[in-house]
Structure formats: C-alpha cells, structure tokens
C-alpha cells in the first residue's frame, strides 16, 4: 500500500494552484469592477482599439509589454488581470509574464467581446 506521508510539505501548492487558476471569467471581473475593487488591470490591445472602447484598464499594447516589465516588477507576486479583444493576446501576455516569474497573472476569458456581451444580456 502506498503512503503519501509528508507529501503536503514537499508540494508548492501556491505555485500549482496559480497555474490552474490563471484565467478569470467576465462574470467575476464584472462583479469585482462593479464592487469598485482596486485591481491591477491591464489592456494589451492596440491604442486605436482602446480608444474605441475600454473597461478602465491601463493600456500596454502586447508588442510594448517587454518595455514595461520594470514598472510591473513590484506586482510580481500580486494578482494581475489582463484582457484584450477575445482573450488570445492577453493569454500570450499572461504566459510571457509568467515566464518572467510573475506568479498570479489572470487572463480574461473571451476578452472585451465577452464582457460587452455579458452586459447586453443583463
């Protein structure tokens, strides 16, 4: 019989948990924004897209993200929420930041398109 004695002390559950829970739904994001929660919230779309419609996030276009890593460094262990139009670019941004050691980066599933669709349903 296999015994898993002391396994808990050898597993970094925080690291494992953050890898599993790296996405955020538009429902959760909307609730948190509606509650006025202060978020580290970034938009990685292009400036012209941001000017047409935005959710109040800080704009850092994906191509410029490497130039902004130093300013994000103090947030390395804090939750960072990233969105784009559909979730693809923000997914790339999240993976990039994770590769640099950021531990709690969350990608908005479906991006601003899903967020606006949720608002229309309400």
Which of 55, 62, 72, 84 is labelled catalytic?
84
Sequential DSSP letters for the chain: ----TT-GGGS-HHHHHHHHT-EE-HHHHHHHHHTT----EEE-S-HHHHHH---SPEE--GGGGGGGHHHHGGGTTS-EEEE-SSSHHHHHHHHHHHHTT-S-EEEETTHHHHHHHHHHH-
Percent of the chain whose pLDDT exceeds 90: 81
| Domains of the chain by residue range | 40-121
What's the rounded Cα separation, in Å, for the pair 72 and 76? 7
Is residue 3 flagged as an active site residue? no
Domain 40-121, what fold? Answer: Oxidized Rhodanese; domain 1 (3.40.250)
pLDDT for 34-91, tens place per residue? 999 999 999 999 999 999 999 999 999 999 999 999 999 999 999 999 999 999 999 9
Q: Give me the mean pLDDT over the 3-26 stretch.
A: 57
């Amino acid at each position: 019989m296999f015994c898993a004695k002391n396994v808990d002390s050898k597993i970094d559950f925080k690291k494992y948990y953050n890898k599993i829970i790296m996405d955020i739904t538009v429902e959760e994001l909307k609730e948190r924004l509606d509650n006025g929660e202060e978020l580290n919230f970034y938009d990685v779309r292009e400036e012209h897209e941001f000017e047409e419609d935005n959710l109040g996030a800080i704009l850092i276009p994906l191509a410029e993200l490497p130039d902004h890593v130093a300013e994000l460094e103090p947030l390395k262990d804090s939750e960072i929420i990233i969105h784009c139009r559909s979730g693809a670019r923000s997914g790339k941004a999240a993976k990039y930041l994770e590769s640099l050691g950021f531990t709690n980066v969350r990608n908005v599933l479906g991006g601003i398109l899903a967020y606006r669709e949720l608002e229309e349903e309400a």
